Structure 1
């Protein structure tokens, strides 16, 4: 079998996004384990992705910025696919068209991009789904957050994409509600944990020494809060938590540079917070998804405004203080922690105030209950994720 998989992957300019790579990695691993011999990844950096995963890889559809440009580009790609028009011989869309036409299936790997926050991602996945439909290629959409912001045009577009899929997997119950409202039949809709929840869980024990770490992963996105005051306030809250727990703060960027000596993405914010700390702290390299998962699973506690640290830490029973900055990050972080009966979601707007230290400490105080809950639910959760990937592979092979 030959399956085309799209994810927001590919290290460009030395920048690694751990979460996006993790979901793609998990899907590649799951398909291989279920007999898919050839995987073609759609990537922002095809050569890098091909080397990283040992697969074939091609570039994306190269969508431009404005909505008008997106519409024009979409029409051009579809016209080329139908033979009604031609596009340049070096247009990356030609490789995508050919890959979908010759594939046994198309999979939209997990992500949080079916939202009006990023219309170009909606267009790209919609055109891919339309190509699959025109060529009679089975389509599966897996592990998605839907919305919560969907403008009317995007809502209609996402609805059409999802209704054309043989299976639709979402990673939060609110997203399942959106999918149902968009007309996805109940029998084709499943609400699961994130696709990367158990990525690499059978490969290694948690990272050595991680149990002594207060793992901190902060997104550079502060939701409009005042930067200086937020940085200082977070430092105070982390100091207070370090005093309470006896754990050493360790900053791990999930969107950062792989180039030694270069600070970019989350690393810039981490560096600013660390300069305000009175507690000793360490910086950990961004690394790769599997090493990031090991680290989160072994931590003593996690403080994060990034999503995937919470995804990785949850099944290990690590107490998670999740710091959303808006409705989008709130849906994701409540979803990731809620699967494991954790309720340590604290708005960033609270975490940096004088009340922040006590709020974080309450999460630490729940650690025994959190661990017991994860131990109770982990086996069933793994079985459910395996069953989902069985369905994905089964629909492609049907």
Structure 2
């Protein structure tokens, strides 16, 4: 059996690569994965899979014809806030796969926001036509219930991704604080300057070593490079391509300050305290589900001292998730694997 995997792969995004790595980890052994990627050569080399250019129509069509199953492989693929083209691309592929008679799976999806009537209509058609659907948050599940689409709700699959250690980490000072910020219109120069000053103060108060972790080089690395000179000799930028190693970094971290969803999930799953800076409803959903403290970007205080004191209080007195809670989320995430096994067995 061959399965065509479609997602935001091969674009240098650590979270989406983690979803792909987890999906490959969870696929039944008798299934051969075929991955649509923005960088098929890199994807083939990293994961040892057949891969095709996601934007090349003929190879994509040929891949569809060669496969038995089509899978939307995790993430917020169906939303029209950051891109109007994205839901049309993914929705078009799903619709084509359904018309060609493939089994179709919407796997570990976070749906929305959907603000345009046409993308909302297309999304409803896509999900209604799926063989199986799983989602990772309650808001997505509620939307599918409104549409009367059968589904399962389970934690994001990356909770269950197997972490790998980064040997070089042992050479860096402890304790450690990890920081992941991404480019966003609401992360204004003034807000970034305030966060940077607060981070400098936090470092001085805790004597922690700062790990700057870009999850997507194009969006995150320039910000990390802007912050790093303010933290000379007490910080390092780590650009890690392997999502399992990226997750493994957090085993040696006391606290993570993150904008990206999968930064927070990876950190929390490895027993790290998390403080969120939200730019998207998916971050707020995670904050609510796990009682993670944080601010929306627009609500970040203008007072640097207040930012510092909030972080310092949490660093000193905040609690990571209990090992029981983490294990419960990991066990729940394996429901996505069970769904795949059911689809591939008939």
State the TM-score, normalizing by the size of structure 1: 0.79
2:109–2:136 Cα contact (<8 Å) kept: yes
Root-mean-square deviation (CA, aligned residues, Å) is 2.3
Does residue 306 of structure 2 align to residue 343 of structure 1? Answer: no
- What residue is the counterpart of 2:284 in the other structure? 334
| Alpha-carbon distance change, 280 to 204 in structure 1, aligned in 2, over 3 angstroms | closer
1:333–1:345 Cα contact (<8 Å) kept: no
Structure 2 unaligned spans of 5+: none
- What residue is the counterpart of 1:170 in the other structure? 135
Residue 359 of structure 1, aligned match among 292, 310, 316: 310
Write the distance in 2 (CA, Å) between the matches of 1:279 and 1:52: 32
State the TM-score, normalizing by the size of structure 2: 0.90
| Alpha-carbon distance change, 298 to 342 in structure 1, aligned in 2, over 3 angstroms | farther
For 1:221-236, what aligned pairs fall within 5 Å after superposition? 221-223=184-186, 225-227=187-189, 229-236=190-197
2:286–2:292 Cα contact (<8 Å) kept: no
**Matched residues, number:** 341
Does residue 36 of structure 2 align to residue 42 of structure 1? Answer: yes
| Alpha-carbon distance change, 205 to 377 in structure 1, aligned in 2, over 3 angstroms | farther
Q: Deviations over 1:292-347 (max 9, x none)?
A: 1011233110011122110101122211111013xxx2x222333444x3321222
- What residue is the counterpart of 2:183 in the other structure? 220
Does residue 14 of structure 2 align to residue 18 of structure 1? Answer: yes
Q: Deviations over 1:113-136 (max 9, x none)?
A: 211122222122212222222222
| Alpha-carbon distance change, 352 to 296 in structure 1, aligned in 2, over 3 angstroms | farther
2:128–2:149 Cα contact (<8 Å) kept: yes
Write the distance in 1 (CA, Å) between the matches of 2:241 and 2:248: 11
Shift of 1:53: 1.0
Structure 1 unaligned spans of 5+: 63-91, 257-263
> SS of 1:169's equivalent?
strand
Write the distance in 2 (CA, Å) between the matches of 1:278 and 1:288: 26
| Alpha-carbon distance change, 366 to 171 in structure 1, aligned in 2, over 3 angstroms | farther
Residue 328 of structure 2, aligned match among 367, 373, 380: 380
Residue 117 of structure 2, aligned match among 144, 152, 156: 152
1:19–1:307 Cα contact (<8 Å) kept: yes
Q: Which shifted more, 96-105 or 277-286?
A: 277-286
Does residue 155 of structure 2 align to residue 190 of structure 1? Answer: no
